[in-house]
Chains A and B, each alone.
Chain A
Amino acid sequence: MKNCEDTTQDIERSSFVRLSLKDRVGMRMHLSLCKDCRRYFKDSKAIDRLLKKRFTHLSKYSFTKEEKEDLKRKIVS
């Protein structure tokens, strides 16, 4: 039987790679019995959605006019 730490880590691992059948079954079994890990699972998906929104667009940063003129001079010398 998988413990909470393995299970919650497998939840994250599954967003990068396909878990083995054994790991998938182990994760489901544990989730069906453990309320805390079910909650982690839902929270993890919610944080995924927030992070995707956050990184859909780059936050805007700009050089000032003076910095740009300075930069143009510096990069040629």
Chain B
Amino acid sequence: MSENEEINPELLVENHGDYLLSFAMSKLRDLDLAKDLVQDTFVSALTKLDSFEKRSKLRTWLTSILNRKIIDHWRKAETRYTDPISNFFDQNDDQRHWLLDKRGGDTGVRNIEQELSHEESMQELKECLDTLPEKWNGIVSSKYLEEKESEQICNDFDITPSNLWVIIHRTKLLLRDCLQNKLAR
């Protein structure tokens, strides 16, 4: 099927709807919001079909439109954003308790790779990722799913490079703490 034939509402939804929804959900937690953004993406795509470069893949083009909508959402959400986990870092910061692996020994997060099956470890990881601020989830997805460069991520999320290192650093500390708690159970 050529790309031309593919561009009608029916086929857009059938061929790309679920993919775009899955992509949006790698960055968002709110399924209704994700569905709305996919719908907006189709509307935008159909109104600016003439700007679609036939050389690029339709799905790539659609994904880039969706990505911009997700980024707009982050920017709007920014002002309402409060950090639900700042306590983790702010209390006793001088003791850097967060840096220390309180359990000591070698019962670290590395054991999760040995002790749990792939499915189990992915389930635990998902639950831990869900405890992060949503925006951080989006940043993690940009880095590990899309393998974006730091400059691009900083641009998308409107943060400075040093914000980015700190967020990745804190993400890992939180994930480590969360995974270790799960292992200790």
Contacts and interface: CB of A to CB of B under 8 A. Distances in A.
B10 A72 contact: yes
A50 interface: yes
Given A40-B99, A55-B144, A61-B31, A9 B165 contact: yes
Q: Which range holds the interface residue count of chain A? A: 35 or more
A22 interface: no
Interface residues of B, number: 52
- Chain B binding surface SS class: helix
- Chain A binding surface SS class: helix
Given A54-B125, A67-B35, A75 B110 contact: no
Contacts of B169: 8-9, 11-12
B152 to A, nearest CB: 11
B143 to A, nearest CB: 8
Given A4-B99, A43-B101, A68 B112 contact: no
Contact of B101 (A36, A51, A52, A61): A36
B65 interface: no
Interface of A: 4-5, 8-9, 11-13, 15-17, 36-37, 39-40, 42-44, 46-47, 49-55, 58-63, 67-68, 71-72, 74-76
Interface of B: 9-10, 12-14, 17-19, 21-23, 25-26, 31, 34-35, 38-39, 42-43, 46, 96, 99-101, 108-110, 112-113, 118, 121-122, 125-126, 129, 140-141, 144-145, 149-150, 161, 164-166, 168-169, 172, 175-176, 179
